[in-house]
Structure 1
Amino acid sequence: MTKKKQAQERAARVAAMRAEQARKDRRHRNLIIAAVSLVSLGLIAAVAIPLVGAARQREAVEAAADAPIEGVEEFEDLSANHVTGSVDYPMAPAAGGDHDQAWQNCGVYTDPVADENAVHSLEHGAVWIAYSPDLPADQVEALTDKTENEEYALVSPYEDMESPIMLSAWGAQLSVEDADDPRIDAFLARYLQGEQTPEPGAACFSGIGTPAA
């Protein structure tokens, strides 16, 4: 075999090896792109699915808040005078009426608060969630979770209630048996700074009391 022929065969083998390597490189690159795409799609789905679920949940709560909330008792023609001393309210906890000149700072309390101060907070658009002192700890935690980052929510224990949990806004009240009751979210959505508020936008801080949370 001539040197020229040998050189041609070597060149052919080198070209074939390079072509095979290029094919392998393309296949490897395509596999990497496919894997990255799958991961990206998975990440998008992992983010998008909870967001869609949360949006749908918000829509459901807003729809429930716009509809009549079963069990809500309403009180009309409530006076709103500043008084000194205790007030004999027709409901317990109170849901409006004459009240102390100092409002209760909104937040979560581990000890009872006075009706007279809490009612002033209701006048400012707060929702007061009162719970029986013997309510299980996980139920109390669920209530506090619902009001996290809510500037106009007041949570505290309350003695001798007719139900384990009672939600009060100015002129409106709801009794529930369980912290998982969906009407709680609807009540909060409707009445936190809701249309019933006599003094919307008034502060629920710089009053009295130091919340635990």
Structure 2
Amino acid sequence: MPQPGSPVNKATVKEQRAQQRAKKLEVYHRQQKRSLRNRRIGITSAIVGAVAVIGLVVTMVVLTPQAPNYAGGGDGAEIDGVLTYENGNGHVETTVDYEQTPPVGGEHNPAWLNCGIYEEPVPSENAVHSLEHGAIWVTYDASMSADELDALKALMPSNYVVLSPFDGLPSPIVLSGWNVQLQVETAEDPRIASFFEQYWKSGTAPELGASCSGAIDAPGKVS
């Protein structure tokens, strides 16, 4: 029988300790590998997700219709059919009996109409004030088809423009700037783009550069 403290017992204890250390080291290595694998999976998932989001954003940008980029501020070059007028620009609190339909200038309300798209007629006195700031007022007959209206919207810049129906127009579509006006039959008329190029944010507007937001929203505003 081996005596206590014999080399056999000491070797066995050392071996047991070595085995325990080896097992702990093996467990540690497995945990490290699992952690590394999880990190790689997480990074890969994040990259895939980011690529998907970027792809979605790019697709939305590509597919979303972009507003035309007009130079505006033209020198008033002649456009066939454009009518010009001479009106003042005083402020009044009352309704105004305008000489033009729709009005293109004259006395108007101290509060301008916020630019945007309206599905209902807007107050002329406020819209004229927007013209004074360099906006274009695009008016159309309320009987216009949805497709024609969409085609008209596609021609409008992203700001400094008011779109609204108007009763009693002299033509299906009328574009009005400060003291200028163009009457057209359809949204396919190439003069519409020419009008924007010349009279949108035109230097003929008495208060060019003043805001076209932050004032009055008329009923029926959708954007």
- What TM-score does the superposition give when structure 1 sets the normalisation length? 0.67
Q: How does 1:52-131 map to 2 (within 5 A)?
A: 67-76=77-86, 78-131=87-140
Of 181, 198, 222, the match for 1:212: 222
Give 1:66 shift: 6.6
Instruction: Answer with 1 or 2: which has the greater Rg.
Output: 2
Among 122, 129, 146, the alignment partner of 2:155 is 146
* 1:65 Cα offset (Å): 8.4
Counterpart amino acid of residue 183 in structure 2: S
Does 2:192 correspond to 1:192?
Answer: no
Provide the alpha-carbon RMSD of the alignment: 2.2
Structure 2 matches for 1:170-185, cutoff 5 A?
Answer: 170-185=178-193
Structure 2 counterpart of 1:196, which letter? T
Q: How far off its partner does 1:154 sit?
A: 0.6
Q: Is the 8 A contact 2:77 2:198 kept in 1?
A: no
- Per-residue deviation, 1:142: 1.2
Instruction: Give deviations 1:104-139, integer Å, cap 9, x for gaps.
Output: 100110011011000000000000000000011111
Match of 1:157 in 2: 165
Q: Which amino acid aligns with 1:146?
A: L
Instruction: Call closer, same or farther: CA 1:180–1:65 in 2, change over 3 Å.
Output: farther
1 CA distance for matches of 2:194 and 2:188?
12
Give, in whole Å, the separation in 2 of the partners of 1:107 and 1:143.
Answer: 14
What percent identity do the matched residue pairs reach?
Answer: 42
- What is the letter of the counterpart of residue 115 of structure 2? C
Q: Name the CA shift for 1:80/1:135 in 2 (closer, same or farther; >3 Å).
A: same
Q: Partner of 1:128: helix, strand, or coil?
A: strand
Letter in 1 for 2:217: G
Relative to the length of structure 2, the TM-score reads 0.64
Any conservation in 2 of the 1:131–1:164 contact (CA below 8 Å)? Answer: yes
Residue 203 of structure 1 is matched in structure 2 by: 211
Aligned to 1:146, the other structure's residue is in SS state coil
State the alpha-carbon separation in 2 of the partners of residues 65 and 83 from structure 1: 30
Q: Secondary structure at the match of 2:139?
A: strand
**Consecutive unaligned residues in structure 1, runs of 5 or more:** 1-56
CA deviation digits over 1:77-98, x for unaligned, max 9?
x111110121010011100000
Distance 1:212 1:122, change over 3 A: same
Distance 2:145 2:202 in 1: 30
Alignment of 1:34-53 (within 5 A): none
Q: 1:67, CA displacement in angstroms?
A: 4.1
Paired residues, what number? Answer: 153
Task: Give the CA deviation at 1:72.
Answer: 0.4
**Distance change >3 Å, CA 168–CA 87, structure 1 → 2:** same
After superposition, give the CA deviation of every residue in 1:151-205 in whole Å (9 maximum; x if it has no partner): 1011000011110000000000000000110000000111111121111110000
Consecutive unaligned residues in structure 2, runs of 5 or more: 1-67
